[in-house]
Structures are given as C-alpha cells and as structure tokens.
Structure 1
Amino acid sequence: MDHEKVNILLVDDQPAKLLAYEVILKDLGQNLVIASSGREALEVLLKTEIAVILVDVCMPELDGFELAAMIREHPRFQKTAMIFISAIQVSDIDRLRGYEMGAVDYVPVPVVPEVLRAKVKVFAELYRKTRELERLNQDLEDRVRARTAELENSTAKLRESEERRSMAIAAGKMGSWDWDWITGDWMWDEGQYRIFGVGPESFEVNPANVQALLHPDDVDQLRKAIAEFNKGTRSYETEFRIVRPDGDVRWCVGTAAATVDESGRVMRVSGVTVDITERKRAEERQTLLAREVDHRAKNALALAQSIVRLTRADEVKAYVSAVEGRINALARVHTILSLSSWQGAELSKLIDEELAPYSLGGQIKLAGSEVQLLPATAQTLALALHELFTNSAKYGALSTRTGRLAIGWQVEDELLTLTWEESGGPLVMTPKSRGFGTRSLLASVESQLGGQARFDWRAEGLLCRLEVPLVRKTAATTAPGNFEAASSAELQRASG
C-alpha cells in the first residue's frame, strides 16, 4: 500500500539552488513546495502542512536563523524538522545558534545529493510515522472514550437495575445471600439482614450464628438442605421459621441454587429468602375463620332447630308466625355481628332492628347511651327483646294506639340495666303460667349471661328489668362459639 505523500518546503533566494534541490529530492516521491524568501515561506507554512523545511542560512531581508526563530514561535511548527544549508563555513557558535533556533541538521555546500536526500528522507519518514502514531493514538483515544462511555452507560444501567432490584426486594420483603461452599464465606444483602432482624455491624454471618437464629424445630431444614446439595441436588426450597434477637418469630420461604465445577462438585450456593409471615398469619386467620364459621353455622342451626321443636301454638298459622319471628330475630343479630366482623354490636341497633317491623309513631321512647355488646350477649338480648316486643304487640301496650312503651338502659360497674316499661294498654293480669317466650327469656338471661330478669305484671302495664353483666366471668360463658349450643340447651330446659 502506497504511503501518503508529505510536503517538503524548499526555501532559498536563488532559483538555481531551488532547481538543484528539486532535482536531488525528486526521487523521494514527495511533494516539493518552493519558497524564494523567508516571508513567502511563512505564508506557505500558514496554508500548508509541512513535514520538512530545507532553508538557506544566508538570505536577504530574513535569513535562515531569523526565519527559524519565527517558525518556532508558532505552536503548530514547534516540532517541524528544519535542515539548514550553508554555503559558508559556520563556526561552532553559529552552529549552536542554529540548533537553538530549532534546526535538526546542517548540510554544507557543495551539497552531496545522496547525503541531502538521505537526511530529508529520514525526517520525512519520521514525520509520516509521527502522524500515523498520532492518528493511531487519536483512534485509540476515540475508542477508549467510546468504550468508557459504553462502560459508564452499562454501569449506570447496572446500578439502576440493582437499585430497582433492591427496591423490589425491600418492597417484597426479600433478601438474597451467597455462600462459598469451599471457603465457608457468606454474603448477605441488606434485605437478608432486615429479615433476620440483625445488622452487618454487629452480626457475623457464619453457619453457627445463622443456625442460632433458626427456630429450634426448623434447624433440621438447614441440615437437610446441606445434605441434599452434597448428594447432587442443584436447587432446594423450603419453609422455615426464624427467631429474631427481639423474640419476634417470622415465617420465611428460602430458595437456593448450587453452582458446580466441571466435576460436579458444589462451589457455591446462592439463594433468596422471602418473609411470608403476613401470608402465614392470614392463612391462620382464614383457617380459624373457616372453623368459626362452620362452628357458628352448626350452632345456629341447632338453635333454630330448638326454636322449631319447642315453639307451642294452638294453630299452624300462629306456630309459623312465632317460629319465623324468632328465627328472623336471630338472623338480624347475625347480620349486625357480621358487619362488625363478629366484634360485637351496639344495643341501640338491636332495638332498632326489632322496632323496624312496627309502625308505631310516637308510642315508643328510648333513652340510653351507646353500649357495645359482646357477640354472645348481643344474640341473647336480641332474642329477649324479640320476645318482649312480640308479647307487647300481641297482648300489651303495643297492641293499641293508646299504649306507650319506654325503654331505658344504663351501665354501671360493667353491669347493663335495661328497663322495659309499658303503660296505656289493655288491663294486665298476672299470668297463671309462663309461656315459652317468657321462660326462654329468663333462661337465656339468667343462665346463659349470668344476669337477672324481673317481671312486674302491673295492671297499667308490664314492667320488666333486665340486669346483664357486660364482662363474661364463668368458663362456660367465656368459651367462644358456644353461645348458640348453650342457648339451645337452655331453651330445651325452659320448655320442660
């Protein structure tokens, strides 16, 4: 491949010499540029890239030394090779001066063509090599800059990806770890420390310390995992519990994968830990809720069965009405309790639900503050209120437009006192025997809730006083879910 030609500047005020230089240097195959004075040479230098300057020392107006000094002052030409040609014998001082001005060599006259050609060729090749090295260096710098930019971009993307991974791990309550199977060295990320409730500044990750944080019943899971990897297993997943230093027990699921060498020997094990405590607790709550729903459904059916079996009536229509009324009362309180997730019910809501079927205008007066009842208490009082409303609508104050009913309640020392006072209705006679409603009311309030129910059959209207403890005291009454079954038993006893 041919080399790119370089420019050689020939400076002399005598045309004959310039022609001689051209003839001598023609065989080099380079571009020869002619200048007949120092000023003309400067003009050429400003317009053309010159590799070598061949300049006569003795020229009018601007000699070779002065021209060299001016050339060296320009930043572009501080390294340009200059060869001085002198027709006179120069002294050592002049020669030293020439080197100080930037000359690289001296050629005396008469000029030996081979010598001049060889000198110029050397500096022309040096210039070409220098330019090639500069271009190569520039290309290298460009590639380095491009590669650096690519690496910076890749690093930024990797950092961004790692930040997203860390955020995802933190949001998902995850942690990652790495275990060098050969050296035993461990590496935990921030999420792993957070799950175990420890910090890198105070916790040394090693098998003994990790095992100490495992739940005693789940330590065998770690040993089993190690045994499986030693047998050739490449991945392993298990659920386990950890006990944090503060005593908090957390459920986790761990997934691990082994890296092996060419012989199949395990080199390292990497994995991810996910905190599934909330999921486990939700599953436990769901299981308990399912059991509770099943239990309540069975007990509610048992109570409904008792109501159907024990209700007495002279006519089918009256029987159906009584059964439907009691079951509807039970259904209404169940709806109220369901809306509160079986946390309890307000007394005023129970009364409002029982009032709903009646259009009584201003016949009923209510007075009392908000009282929150436990589920069992709410169910008992709902059935009791139903019996009172039903009897009053059939035989008492609510059976006439002139009748009046006042319901008041108050709480003192965890004891709820509810007063039911009728007036203005039909003349009241003390009953010779208690009906099913009255007996079931007494049984449920007194036996089931540990309270008291007092009836005063006044001529002007019934006066009933219910006293119900708001705090369950006995073992029988505090067992959750037993209310319906107990109520069923009380109803059966009341019917006897």
Structure 2
Amino acid sequence: MDHEKVNILLVDDQPAKLLAYEVILKDLGENLVIASSGREALELLLKTEIAVILVDVCMPELDGFELAAMIREHPRFQKTAMIFISAIQVSDIDRLRGYEMGAVDYVPVPVVPEVLRAKIKVFAELYRKTRELERLNHELEDRVRARTAELENSTAKLRESEQRRSMAIAAGKMGSWDWDWISGDWMWDEGQYRIFGVSPETFEVNPANVQALLHPDDLDQLRKAIAEFNKGTRAYETEFRIIRPDGEVRWCVGTAAATVDDSSRVVRVSGVTVDITERKRAEERQNLLAREVDHRAKNALALAQSIVRLTRADEVKAYVSAVEGRINALARVHTILSLSSWQGAELSRLIDEELAPYSLGGQIMLAGPKVQLLPATAQTLALALHELFTNSAKYGALSTRSGRLTIGWQVEDQVLTLNWEESGGPLVITPKSRGFGTRSLLASVESQLGGQAQFDWRAEGLLCRLEVPLTRKSAATTASGKFEDASSAELQRASG
C-alpha cells in the first residue's frame, strides 16, 4: 500500500558511517536527510519535519547527549523519536543518561542492518500513524466545530423564532396548548395561563380544573368537540366563555387539530386559544351604537317633522327661515353629540354653537361651571336656547347694539339652573299670548326633561329661568324610546 514518505535524519561526523546508514535504510523507501554535525542537525530540524533521528553518541563539539538535550528543549520536538548509535561499550548509567536526554532506543556498533531497519521502520510507522491520527482529529474537530456552529445557529434561529412566536401570541392575546389523548396529560404555554387568569405555579392543568374555568353554558362545546374527534374529525373550532378565578368573564375562540396513529386513532390534540373579549365588546358596542343611531335618526326626524308641521308664519319667507333655524339648531347639537360618540355635550359648547350665527361683539356675557349634558337633555336644551336666541335677536336685547344678554348657570343637587337675563334692548311688553317658540320651549323643558321654565317679561328686558334635572333617570326619555312620541305630542299641544 502506498503511503506518504517521512523524513529520517541521520547525524554522524563520519561520512563513511552516514553512507553505511543510507545503504542499510534505503530499502525502507523513506526520505533520508544527512547531517554531519549536531549544529547542522539543529538547522535541518528547524526547516524540515523529521519523523526519526538516528544520531551518533560520540561527536566532536556537540555529542549525541547534548544534541538530544537541546532538541528536547524545543516544544516542537519533544516527542520526536531519537535512536542513539554508540561505538563504545555503553554502561547502564550511560543508557540512563541517554533516556533522560530523550532517547527512545540504543543501537550498538557494529550495526546489524536488519535490526536497524526494523527499529527505524517501527518508529517511522508510528510517526505516520500519529500524524494520520492528528489529521483525523483535526478533521473531526473541524466537523465538530462546524456542526456545533450549525447547532448554535439553528438554536439561535429556533430561539428567535420562539421569541417571535411568543411575542406574536402575547400581542394577539393568544395561547397554545397540547393534550395527550392517551395519557390525559396537558401542556399549556404562558399565553394560555394568562388568558385563563391563572398561574403555572398554583394551577394544575387537568380536565377537572380546566372544566371548572369554563362557563357552565359552554361546557357542551367541550363535550361536542371530544365527540367530534372520536368520530374522526381532525379539526374543530368554536367560541366559548371562561370565568377567571377573580370572576371576570372572557370570550375566547378555540381551534384544535388532532394527531392520529397508523390505525387512525387520535393520540394527541393540539390547539390555539385566542382571547376575543375586546372584539366581542366592540361588536356589542357597534350593535348598540347602530340601534342608538337608528333611534337618534328617528328622534331627529320626529323633531324635524314636528317643527315643519307646527311652525307658523304669515309669509313663506318667514316660515322657511323659522324652520331652517330650528333644523340647524338640531344639526349643530347632533354634530356635537356625534363628536363625543353620543356620550353627551358640554353646556358652554351648546351656547357657543348657538352664538355662532350672531356677530355681537361684547353684548353677551357667560358665567358658569363646566356641565356635561346627557344626549336627550342636550338636544332639548339646544332647541330651547335656539328659541331664546331667535326671539332675542328679533325682538329683544340682541336686536339692537345697545342691548346686553347675561347667561349664567349653576348646578345643585343634580339640577341645572340657567338664568337668561336681557337688558338695554327695546321696551318689553308682556305678550297677550305665547308664541310657538315659547310654548314649545315650555313643553320640551317641562314635559320631556321634567324641569321648569319661568318667564318674566320685565320692561327692561326678558328674564327667563330654566331648571333642568341632570340625572339619567329624569332626563333619559329619549333613551327609553319615547322621545319621538313625546316630541310630537308636546309640540302639538304647544301649537294648540
């Protein structure tokens, strides 16, 4: 079998001996390197990879023992095989010294060719196998390093993927679970515990404990899912409710998939749970808002219908102006309520909206705290304020630049008291009969809101006092679905 040749260093100060060694070792088929002195041998060692050194003990300047000691001091040659050749009788002490210097064997003179060849061959093969083993070890280490790097890279990617999955699950309010169909063992991830409002340190995942957290009305969903899997269904999805230990009810959607063995028997069921409580609440709010919008639309249409039907005027132009003014008042308060998602309207905002059509400079003074009105109260009060502003602009203080209007309000015991005081305008004469605006104002405030409206037509200006309850019980006529009927009926009576 062909093999890679190794270098054998022959060291002797006598050329004849070197030639003899070459002849003896030629048949080994190795590379023979010649050195005629110890120093030359050291130079060759530094330049060439040597497998075995054959060195004469007796040499001038640097003998074999000294050369061996110098070779062994170098880290690179601490394991290089050295064979001493001695032409003199070697004592046990000399042998011991040689071994201490690093020799691995002795060959006496006269040299027996077969013995020398056999020893050199053994050490050459040993060197070759050692080098091969080192090479294999390096390759193995390289493969181990490469494999380790691959595993670390795969582990890092898996960890990163798991982190992304955990973040996605956490962000999506999701949890995953696994159920061993045979043993009954459960496995929940962190998201699953979080959805059910329990802790992995205190909650044992088992069928009994899990069922205890399900809403009683939804237990049949679990039984149905189990039955479906037993029938051969491979996937199942359903919505259900859970009751957390703190009593909070949460809506969830569960998706499960079955794993079967070779005989199509279910062995494992895995799934994902998604908390959809917020979506359910949003749907409920949307449905409620849709019903509310429908109710508000009917309410506005009923008001508009009553306004159109009951408004009186001597000429078309005056009629159109009156109708438009009242419809615009409704539109303005509707806009305010829409911007608040029909949660209510602030009183000063209503007044500002009614003031907007008039450029009155400093004729009007407002004074009062922030008051949040319910939608029904806001709509009715907006129409009342519109009638007051319209009458004042036509006949009262706002009809002349010298007129002044003071609007002040306060809240006590959930009752809003609004004082409207005019002065500096034309001389006021108490009307013999109430017009549509005054009668509709009285009807809406007193009948719809359960409040009171008082008018005092003083000569120096109108004084009006409105008392309006702010509580939902008193002001929620529209919320109960009666606003349309009340609006029409009261306005009809006002027109009578």
> Given the two structures, how large is their TM-score scaled by the length of structure 2?
0.91
Aligned-partner Cα distance in 2 for 1:407–1:94: 128
- CA drift at 1:301: 0.8
- Confirm or deny: 8 A CA contact 2:255 2:272 kept in the other structure: yes
Aligned-partner Cα distance in 2 for 1:13–1:427: 147
Deviations 1:297-338 (A, max 9, x none): 012111211222222334333333332222222222212222
Aligned-partner SS, 1:238: strand
Deviations 1:250-283 (A, max 9, x none): 2222222233333333332222222222222112
Aligned-partner SS, 2:325: helix
- CA drift at 1:29: 0.9
- CA drift at 1:286: 1.1
- Confirm or deny: 8 A CA contact 2:55 2:82 kept in the other structure: yes
Aligned-partner Cα distance in 1 for 2:401–2:100: 134
Given the superposition, is the C-alpha separation of residues 92 and 494 from structure 1 closer, same or farther in structure 2, using an over 3 Å criterion?
same
- CA drift at 1:418: 2.4
- Confirm or deny: 8 A CA contact 2:84 2:103 kept in the other structure: yes
Aligned-partner Cα distance in 2 for 1:21–1:292: 114
Given the superposition, is the C-alpha separation of residues 431 and 42 from structure 1 closer, same or farther in structure 2, using an over 3 Å criterion?
closer
Aligned-partner SS, 1:425: coil
Aligned-partner Cα distance in 2 for 1:48–1:404: 117
Query: Which one is further off, 124-133 or 246-255?
Result: 246-255
Aligned-partner Cα distance in 2 for 1:22–1:61: 24
Aligned-partner Cα distance in 2 for 1:68–1:392: 126
Aligned to 1:56: 56
Given the superposition, is the C-alpha separation of residues 409 and 112 from structure 1 closer, same or farther in structure 2, using an over 3 Å criterion?
closer
Deviations 1:178-214 (A, max 9, x none): 2222322222222222222111111111222122222
Query: Which one is further off, 200-209 or 36-45?
Result: 36-45
- Confirm or deny: 8 A CA contact 1:69 1:101 kept in the other structure: yes
- Confirm or deny: 8 A CA contact 1:296 1:484 kept in the other structure: no
- Confirm or deny: 8 A CA contact 2:181 2:267 kept in the other structure: yes
- CA drift at 1:442: 1.6
- CA drift at 1:129: 0.9
- CA drift at 1:133: 0.8
Aligned-partner Cα distance in 2 for 1:491–1:8: 126
Aligned to 1:409: 409
Query: Which one is further off, 283-292 or 111-120?
Result: 111-120
**Percent of residue pairs identical:** 93
Given the superposition, is the C-alpha separation of residues 5 and 384 from structure 1 closer, same or farther in structure 2, using an over 3 Å criterion?
same
Deviations 1:431-458 (A, max 9, x none): 4433322222221111111111222334
Alignment of 1:369 onto 2:378: no
Structure 2, unaligned runs of 5 or more: none
Aligned-partner SS, 1:474: helix
- CA drift at 1:21: 1.5
Deviations 1:220-244 (A, max 9, x none): 2222222222333222222222221
Aligned-partner SS, 2:199: coil
Given the superposition, is the C-alpha separation of residues 57 and 321 from structure 1 closer, same or farther in structure 2, using an over 3 Å criterion?
closer
Aligned-partner SS, 2:477: helix
Given the superposition, is the C-alpha separation of residues 293 and 87 from structure 1 closer, same or farther in structure 2, using an over 3 Å criterion?
same
- Confirm or deny: 8 A CA contact 1:296 1:481 kept in the other structure: no
Query: Which one is further off, 78-87 or 388-397?
Result: 388-397
- Confirm or deny: 8 A CA contact 1:85 1:107 kept in the other structure: yes
Given the superposition, is the C-alpha separation of residues 36 and 454 from structure 1 closer, same or farther in structure 2, using an over 3 Å criterion?
closer
- CA drift at 1:460: 4.4
Aligned-partner Cα distance in 1 for 2:35–2:472: 121
Aligned-partner Cα distance in 1 for 2:403–2:46: 124
Deviations 1:88-137 (A, max 9, x none): 44344433443333332333333222222122111111111111111111
Given the superposition, is the C-alpha separation of residues 7 and 355 from structure 1 closer, same or farther in structure 2, using an over 3 Å criterion?
closer
Given the superposition, is the C-alpha separation of residues 385 and 93 from structure 1 closer, same or farther in structure 2, using an over 3 Å criterion?
closer
Query: Which one is further off, 482-491 or 111-120?
Result: 482-491
- Confirm or deny: 8 A CA contact 2:446 2:453 kept in the other structure: yes
- Confirm or deny: 8 A CA contact 1:303 1:485 kept in the other structure: no
Aligned-partner SS, 1:362: coil
- Confirm or deny: 8 A CA contact 2:304 2:327 kept in the other structure: yes
- CA drift at 1:401: 5.1
Given the superposition, is the C-alpha separation of residues 27 and 299 from structure 1 closer, same or farther in structure 2, using an over 3 Å criterion?
same
- Confirm or deny: 8 A CA contact 1:449 1:472 kept in the other structure: no
Given the superposition, is the C-alpha separation of residues 90 and 341 from structure 1 closer, same or farther in structure 2, using an over 3 Å criterion?
same
Aligned-partner SS, 1:478: coil
Given the superposition, is the C-alpha separation of residues 437 and 115 from structure 1 closer, same or farther in structure 2, using an over 3 Å criterion?
same
Note the 1:72-471 alignment, pairs <5 A. Answer: 72-400=72-400, 403-471=403-471
Aligned-partner SS, 1:422: strand
- Confirm or deny: 8 A CA contact 2:377 2:475 kept in the other structure: no
Given the superposition, is the C-alpha separation of residues 40 and 335 from structure 1 closer, same or farther in structure 2, using an over 3 Å criterion?
closer
Aligned-partner Cα distance in 2 for 1:460–1:61: 141
- CA drift at 1:363: 4.5
Query: Which one is further off, 29-38 or 102-111?
Result: 102-111
Aligned-partner Cα distance in 1 for 2:356–2:69: 117
Alignment of 1:4 onto 2:11: no
- CA drift at 1:400: 4.8
Aligned-partner Cα distance in 2 for 1:450–1:116: 129
- CA drift at 1:292: 0.3
- Confirm or deny: 8 A CA contact 2:448 2:475 kept in the other structure: no
Report runs of 4+ in structure 1 exceeding 6 Å deviation: none
